[in-house]
Structures are given as C-alpha cells and as structure tokens.
Amino acid sequence: MNTNQAVITLSCLAQEARLKIFRLLVQTSPAGLAAGEIASRLDMPHSTLSFHLKELSHAGLVKSEQSGRFVYYSTDFSTMNALMAFLTENCCGGEQSCCLPEKHS
C-alpha cells in the first residue's frame, strides 16, 4: 500500500452508498450476496448499485464471482487490512502504544 492506493481505497469508501454496500458485505462475509440481493436490501436502483460495485471492485475492496445468472459479491479483506496498516504505520515513532484502541472491561 502506498499513498496513491490508499487515496483510491479511501475515496471509494468515502461515499454513503458504497460504504453501506461494503459494510453489508463485511457482515455477510465470507459468503457474500448476489447483486440483486444487495440492491433490494439497500433499496438502490440497479444501475446505481452496479456503478458502485464496479468502483469497489476496482479499488480491490470487493471481489465477484459469477454463478449462473447471478454475480456474487464479497469483501476482499486483504485490501482493507492493508489500508488499516498503512494508516497507523510507524505510529508514535514505532512505539505502538499511544495509537491502540482503549480496552473495554
């Protein structure tokens, strides 16, 4: 992951429709959902959904697999994990303590 890739990945998620699609796929992973199922769950026109799925695929955030007439989409976690690592890289000069989430008891 480098700056340009990270900007592409973040831009892709920084959009209400795409963020909802991504989170829905995160929650239904690793199985994924067919495009039409995503459209009906999110009440989104097919053309709009298709546009956003293409963006998400291009950014490497989701992957697709055709099965008959259906195209199943699911999360590609490697990109998401690489992004998170990039954002906190060399946190606190490598000390890695100030940037960790606080533990909840």
Partner DNA sequence: ACTGTATTTCCATATTTATGGAAATATAAA
Partner DNA sequence: TTTATATTTCCATAAATATGGAAATACAGT
Residues at the interface with DNA (CB under 7 A): 11, 15-18, 34-37, 39, 44-55, 64, 66, 68-71
Residue 48 contact, options DNA, a second copy, none, Cβ 5-8 Å cut-off depending on partner type: DNA
CB-based contact 52:17 (threshold 8 Å): yes
Our CB check for DNA shows the closer of 53 and 79 to be 53
Site residue total, a second copy (CB under 8 A): 38
Tell the smallest beta-carbon distance from residue 29 to DNA (Å). 17
Q: Which stretch binds a second copy (CB under 8 A): 39-47, 50-58, 65-73, 85-93?
A: 85-93
Cis-peptide into 30, omega within 30 deg: yes
The identity of residue 54, as a single letter, is K
Distances (CA, A) of 19 to 15, 25, 43, 104: 6, 10, 14, 26
Our CB check for a second copy shows the closer of 68 and 105 to be 105
Q: Which two tokens stand for residue 73?
A: 């989409």
